Amino acid sequence: MHELSFGTWLIHISSVIEWIFAIFVISKISKFEKYKPLFWLSLGMIPNLISAMCAITWHIYDNQELLYGLVTLQGIMTLIGNTTLAISTIAIYKLTSSYE
């Protein structure tokens, strides 16, 4: 694990923990009737979490060439994650515009 500095590891790991916490909190908030559409946001965040875990796993194993597929998977999951976040944002907008 010598590839990254301590500060970089701290940022990587704390970002993943924050992302997990955000998914959990948004999911809990979506249990309230008024905020039900936020469920889609918490669901849309999962692919980006998988992407981050791919990056951390690759770094844990010192960026071995054997695991280079994780880099590809990370890119794919980032694309899917950004797409699901955009779709969930549109869904939230459409579902909440009926409240007005």
Could you tell me if residue 52 is inside a domain? Answer: yes
Between the CA atoms of 17, 50, 63 and 75, what dihedral angle is there, to the nearest 10 degrees?
Answer: -130
Q: What is the pLDDT of residue 1?
A: 55
The interaxial angle of helices 46-60 and 69-96, nearest 10 deg, is 160
Residue 69 lies in a domain: yes
pTM listed for this prediction: 0.86
Q: Which long-range contacts (CB under 8 A, 24 or more apart) does 79-85 make?
A: 80/47, 81/44, 81/45, 81/46, 81/47, 81/48, 81/49, 81/50, 81/51, 82/48, 84/43, 84/44, 84/45, 84/46, 84/47, 85/41, 85/44, 85/45, 85/48
| Within-domain flag for 45 | yes
Q: pLDDT band for position 98 (50/70/90)?
A: low
Name the nearest CA neighbour of 44 among 92, 82, 94: 82
Instruction: Flag whether 1 is in a domain.
Output: no
Total of domains in the chain: 1
Residue 13 lies in a domain: yes
What's the pLDDT tens digit per position in 48-92? 999 999 999 998 888 888 999 999 999 999 999 999 999 999 999
- By residue range, what is the domain housing residue 60? 6-99
